[in-house]
Amino acid sequence: MEKIKVAVAGVGFIGPAHIEALRRIPNIEVVAMFHPFEAEAKEKAMDLGIPNAYADYAEMLDKEALDCVHVCTPNNLHFPMAKQALEKGIHVVCEKPLATTVAEAEELVALAESKGLVNAVHFNLRYYPIVRQMKTMREKGQLGEVYSIMGSYLQDWLFFETDYNWRLEPDKSGESKAIADIGSHLMDVIEYISDLKITQVMADFSTIHKTRKKPLKPVETYSGKALNPEDYVDVPINTEDFATVMLRFDNGNKGVVTVSQVAAGRKNRLSLEIAGSKETFSWCSESPNELWIGKRDAPNQLLMRDPSLFEPEARSVVSFPGGHNEGFPDTSKQIFKEIYADVKAGKPSATPTYPIFKDGLRELLLCDKIVESHKKEAWVTV
Ligand SMILES: NC(=O)c1ccc[n+]([C@@H]2O[C@H](COP(=O)([O-])OP(=O)(O)OC[C@H]3O[C@@H](n4cnc5c(N)ncnc54)[C@H](O)[C@@H]3O)[C@@H](O)[C@H]2O)c1
């Protein structure tokens, strides 16, 4: 059987996670990778076991007969790299955020549609099995009407003023940092599970470290912890480390989300509490295999991730029996399973089950409105 040929562009933190997940799916071959620094590209390819390394993205697209490209570079490069691939007739899986502006994202949505190509955004957190289970339980009426949603996404990898990354630079990350980086996952999961639309936002941001110490050499995500702070320069920071956003939903009810990248001890913690007219769901990504179900007139329940206890619609994103815990790396495998069914077919299905460029555009729009609300200190309609 002919293998699907894939390239991964950007091999810092998340690129290798894509490669590992792709290798867990049959009949896919990662044939090439892109890394912009010529001196390191070959060594990275050797470490990752990829035959062909390129420091020139256009050359890779020209020379390799690719079916699909994964864009895993800093945010500002998502738009040009996804666009180049689509123009060459290559399917694209893009990291979030899809682009850095709404206009760019709109262009990508239109281009992918006009070319009839598979277009996906790696909103992998949707693929925690309990998230699919909550969505299905809500669809089947177990939650009832959504009364309120409270969510947070907390991290600590930017806690110290010596923590530094390209995400702190608006020309690479976009106008927002924490909201674009992790708030996008949180709001995507909220709308995905509830099927509600956020209609209005009221945001308040803080920049905890108003200056940071920038190392004089590049630092990949999370690797900053291993560096000795030796050669730094002080740089002003003007994007948010922390944000709280009040939300109004299209069912007339309300919610609130808080994101922080300076919350000591919180490593990568997405937490949700969805209160409905029948029960409450509470779930946290740091204990991803357990769903707390709150009841007013009966004992509360704790549902463990177990395909035999799940709704049939949620079983498809579970690979192991109960007690054999699945986590973050499994989410990418599950999302790629659904995306690559379409890549194999050569075109997107009529109703893709995975997040597409339109979902990426939706998050950019929300992010735009949230930034606007913070600046105006007012409610903004989406
Ligand atoms: N879905 C998720 O859970 C998740 C998690 C982490 C990151 N991400 C997204 O993935 C993207 C990459 O994040 P990361 O944490 O892996 O970043 P990173 O800094 O660790 O790695 C980025 C890689 O991109 C390439 N790169 C860096 N600078 C470049 C430049 N100037 N020109 C071209 N290529 C360059 C390099 O190969 C580098 O290793 C971001 O958009 C981020 O939002 C998503």
Ligand 1 centre and the CA of 287: distance in Å? 26
Query: Please, what's the b/e burial string for 231-249 (b: 16 or more CB within 10 A of its CB; e: otherwise)?
Result: eeeeeebebbbbbbbebbb
pLDDT 10s digits, 129-166:
999 999 999 999 999 999 999 999 999 999 999 999 99
Average pLDDT on 262-273 reads 98
Q: Token pair for residue 312?
A: 């049939």
Average pLDDT on 17-23 reads 98
**Structural domains counted in the chain:** 2
Query: Is there a domain that residue 134 lies in?
Result: yes
Instruction: Give the residue, out of 73, 81, 131, with the most ligand 1 atoms within 8 A of its beta carbon, to mutate for a pocket test.
Output: 73
Question: Which sign does the torsion angle of CA 342, 348, 352, 355 carry?
Answer: positive
What confidence tier does 305 reach under pLDDT thresholds 50, 70, 90?
Answer: very high
Query: Is there a domain that residue 23 lies in?
Result: yes
Average pLDDT on 347-366 reads 97
DSSP for 191-258, please give it.
HHHH---EEEEEEEEE-S-SEEEEESS---TTGGGGS---SEEEEE--S-SEEEEEEEETTS-EEEEE
Question: Nearest 5 degrees, angle CA 187-CA 193-CA 196?
Answer: 70
Instruction: Give the residue, out of 8, 11, 13, 96, with the most ligand 1 atoms within 8 A of its beta carbon, to mutate for a pocket test.
Output: 13
Residues 296 and 272 in one domain: yes
Q: Residue 89 pLDDT > 70, yes or no?
A: yes
Residue 136 contacts residue 311 (beta carbons within 8 Å): yes
DSSP conformation class of 157:
T
Average pLDDT on 175-199 reads 97
Nearest CA to 28 among 270, 373, 337? Answer: 337
Residues 166 and 117 in one domain: no
Query: Is there a domain that residue 94 lies in?
Result: yes
Residues 296 and 189 in one domain: yes
Query: Is there a domain that residue 381 lies in?
Result: no
What atom of ligand 1 comes closest to residue 165's alpha carbon?
19
Average pLDDT on 237-241 reads 96
What confidence tier does 255 reach under pLDDT thresholds 50, 70, 90?
Answer: very high
Ligand 1, atom 21, lies closest to the CA of: 12
Ligand 1 binding residues, C-beta < 6 A:
10-15, 35-36, 72-75, 77, 95-96, 122, 124, 166, 181, 220-221
Residues 17 and 139 in one domain: no
pLDDT of residue 228: 63
Ligand 1 centre and the CA of 378: distance in Å? 33
Ligand 1, atom 3, lies closest to the CA of: 124
Residue 92 bridge partners (DSSP)? 69, 119
Count Cβ atoms within 10 A of the Cβ of residue 74 and give its class: 0-12 exposed, 13-18 middle, 19 or more buried: buried
Residues 41 and 157 in one domain: no
Strands (E), the chain: 4-9, 28-34, 52-54, 68-71, 91-94, 119-121, 146-155, 198-206, 211-215, 232-236, 242-249, 254-260, 268-276, 280-284, 290-294, 301-304, 380-381
Query: Is there a domain that residue 368 lies in?
Result: no
Residues 102 and 250 in one domain: no
**What does residue 186 show for φ and ψ, rounded to 5 degrees?**
-65, -45
Q: Token pair for residue 336?
A: 């790629």
pLDDT 10s digits, 311-350:
999 999 999 999 999 999 999 999 999 999 999 999 999 9
Residues 154 and 277 in one domain: yes
pLDDT of residue 15: 98
Query: Is there a domain that residue 91 lies in?
Result: yes
Ligand 1 centre and the CA of 209: distance in Å? 22
Residues 241 and 301 in one domain: yes
Q: Residue 258 pLDDT > 70, yes or no?
A: yes
Average pLDDT on 79-94 reads 98
Residues 163 and 236 in one domain: yes
Query: Cα(378)–Cα(48) distance, rounded to whole angstroms?
Result: 48
Query: Cα(108)–Cα(114) distance, rounded to whole angstroms?
Result: 10
Residues 320 and 342 in one domain: no
pLDDT of residue 61: 98
- Structural domain that includes position 141: 129-324
What confidence tier does 225 reach under pLDDT thresholds 50, 70, 90?
Answer: low
Instruction: Give the residue, out of 76, 221, 269, 363, with the most ligand 1 atoms within 8 A of its beta carbon, to mutate for a pocket test.
Output: 221
Query: Cα(137)–Cα(172) distance, rounded to whole angstroms?
Result: 39
The CATH number that applies at residue 42 is: 3.40.50.720
Residue 315 contacts residue 307 (beta carbons within 8 Å): yes
pLDDT of residue 216: 80
Query: Is there a domain that residue 265 lies in?
Result: yes
**What does residue 115 show for φ and ψ, rounded to 5 degrees?**
-90, -10
pLDDT of residue 8: 98
The CATH number that applies at residue 160 is: 3.30.360.10
Residues 302 and 341 in one domain: no
Summary mean pLDDT of the chain = 95
Count Cβ atoms within 10 A of the Cβ of residue 40 and give its class: 0-12 exposed, 13-18 middle, 19 or more buried: middle
Residues 150 and 281 in one domain: yes
Query: Cα(284)–Cα(289) distance, rounded to whole angstroms?
Result: 9
Average pLDDT on 176-205 reads 97
Percentage of the chain exceeding pLDDT 90: 93
Helix (H) or strand (E) holding 324: none
Query: Is there a domain that residue 249 lies in?
Result: yes
